[in-house]
């Protein structure tokens, strides 16, 4: 009696047949957070477990990646301001990660170069700084579009801006030294934030009134998670940042005493309801 032919392999039953979906999995449509992942026995199903490992690898790569200063300088120069480059005291990426204090101070040569910039007849209203921080990709992707939305507002309001400074291996506090060296009344730094497992390219904006070395985080204001399309959009971030800068200049302070209470941003005309004026 001949053996029966082997049955053809069945189609992939899909993850739902192997690991039924969690009752909360539909909430994933509204958030990039890991929610309702399900389980296979006492563990995660294979697909979300692999997705977690991929996200972790992307976050590690974001921290290690070097800033493309040439490309960033070209993008920023198109916006009009003079652009300078500087380095922090961290000698390389490994030193930047191991010694946060070095990323908060300028290298001696950069400090001397900025101190040699001719002072203006009147103090600059603000020094704008772009740094790699903990995600160079965030600075490369989002700094220029954010400044493209912000600079025209500052120009219309008559702000006097120092040359824009790009800093490699820079942390937030390095802007305090830069602002002081350029004689600016406030410093604003845009830099990559610590990557999360759903946001390896998030940009942060930090504002400090009367910048000088030794300022604390309580003396700053922060706008976080600036990135399109998954975070705070450029127009909304520029609106909030301009409001903070205006209020900091008007009141002569920043930090815990300055609240982010910008009025609502009007939607673009195409987003308004029919008939709205």
Tens-digit pLDDT profile for residues 105-118: 999 999 999 999 98
Burial of residue 1 (CB within 10 Å: 0-12, 13-18, 19+) is exposed
Q: Is the pLDDT score of 274 beyond 50?
A: no
Spatial separation of the C-alpha atoms in residues 68 and 71, rounded to whole Å: 6
Could you identify the residue written with the tokens 């992939």? 12
Q: Which domain holds residue 233?
A: 69-251
Is 21 inside any structural domain?
no
Model pLDDT, residue 163 = 95
What is the DSSP annotation of 58-111? Answer: HHHHHHHPPP-HHHHHHHHHTTSS-EEEEEBS--SHHHHHH-HHHHTSB-HHHH
Pairing mode, if any, of strands 203-209 and 186-192? antiparallel
Is 214 inside any structural domain?
yes
Spatial separation of the C-alpha atoms in residues 158 and 246, rounded to whole Å: 11
33 or 152: which carries more pLDDT confidence?
152
Number of domains in the chain: 1
| Dihedral angle over CA of 83, 111, 191, 153, nearest 10 | -50
Is 208 inside any structural domain?
yes
**pLDDT one-digit tens code per residue, 116-172:** 998 888 899 999 999 999 999 999 999 999 999 999 999 999 999 999 999 999 999
Spatial separation of the C-alpha atoms in residues 165 and 187, rounded to whole Å: 11
Is 257 inside any structural domain?
no
**pLDDT one-digit tens code per residue, 64-75:** 788 999 999 999
Is 24 inside any structural domain?
no
Is 138 inside any structural domain?
yes
Question: CB within 8 A of 206, min separation 6: which ones?
Answer: 172, 175, 188, 189, 191, 220, 221, 222
Q: Residue 251 in 3-state DSSP?
A: helix
Is 175 inside any structural domain?
yes
Residue 49 contacts residue 55 (beta carbons within 8 Å): no
CATH number of 157's domain: 3.40.50.11240
Model pLDDT, residue 209 = 97
Model pLDDT, residue 149 = 96
Is 244 inside any structural domain?
yes
39 or 107: which carries more pLDDT confidence?
107
């Amino acid at each position: 009696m001949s053996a029966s032919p082997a049955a053809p392999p069945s189609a992939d039953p899909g993850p739902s047949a192997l690991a039924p979906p969690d009752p909360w999995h539909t909430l994933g449509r509204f958030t990039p957070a890991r929610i309702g992942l399900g389980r296979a026995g006492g563990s995660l199903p294979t697909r979300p477990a692999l997705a977690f490992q991929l996200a972790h690898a992307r976050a590690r790569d974001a921290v290690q990646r070097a800033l493309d200063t040439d490309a960033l300088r070209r993008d920023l120069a198109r916006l009009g301001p003079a652009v300078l480059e500087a380095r922090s005291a961290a000698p390389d990426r490994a030193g930047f990660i191991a010694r946060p204090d070095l990323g908060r101070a300028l290298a001696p040569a950069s400090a001397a170069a900025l101190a040699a910039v001719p002072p203006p007849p009147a103090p600059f209203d603000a020094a704008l700084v772009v740094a790699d921080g903990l995600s160079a990709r965030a600075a490369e992707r989002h700094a220029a579009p954010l400044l493209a939305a912000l600079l025209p507002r500052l120009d219309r309001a008559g702000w006097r801006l120092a040359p824009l400074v790009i800093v490699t291996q820079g942390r937030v506090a390095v802007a305090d030294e830069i602002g002081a060296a350029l004689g600016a009344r406030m410093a604003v730094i845009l830099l990559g934030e610590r990557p999360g497992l759903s946001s390896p390219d998030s940009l942060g904006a930090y504002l400090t009134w009367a910048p000088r070395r030794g300022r604390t985080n309580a003396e700053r204001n922060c706008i976080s998670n600036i990135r399109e399309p998954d975070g705070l959009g450029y127009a909304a971030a520029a609106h909030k940042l301009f409001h903070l800068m205006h209020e900091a200049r008007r009141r002569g302070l920043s930090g815990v005493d300055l609240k982010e209470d910008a009025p609502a941003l009007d939607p673009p005309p195409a987003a308004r309801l029919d008939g709205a004026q």
